[in-house]
């Protein structure tokens, strides 16, 4: 199913949590893995002008996230106001 955001909504593919401790091949237990609040924009609502598809963004830890399936993968639908920065 294809998801097309409306208004001020943005569809993100979240960055996966790291499975290894930085710089090592030591696995982090699944219960301790934490994903950073970052993701790649895959869709924007018609009222969003300063963020575009393909941007890598950081969003609030307390963002109101709606989990959705898009192209058979989990994605997040969030409000534009929950995005802090475009990371380049």
Domains identified in the chain and CATH numbers: 1-15+35-88 (2.30.33.40)
pTM score, whole prediction: 0.84
Closest Cα to residue 14, out of 45, 59, 44?
A: 59
The helix/strand/coil state of 80 is helix
Q: Distance from first CA to last CA of the chain, Å, rounded?
A: 29
What is the predicted pLDDT for the residue at 10?
Answer: 96
The model's pLDDT over 50-62, given as tens digits with 9 standing for 90+, comes to 999 999 999 999 9
Low-confidence ranges of the chain (pLDDT < 50): none
């Amino acid at each position: 199913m294809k998801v097309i955001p409306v208004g001020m909504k943005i569809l993100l593919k979240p960055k996966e949590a790291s499975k290894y401790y930085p710089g090592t091949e030591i696995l982090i237990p699944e219960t301790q893995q934490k994903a950073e609040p970052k993701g790649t924009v895959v869709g924007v609502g018609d009222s969003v002008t300063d963020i575009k598809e393909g941007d890598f963004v950081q969003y609030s830890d307390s963002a109101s996230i709606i989990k959705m399936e898009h192209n058979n993968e989990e994605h997040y639908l969030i409000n534009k106001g929950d995005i802090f920065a475009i990371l380049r």
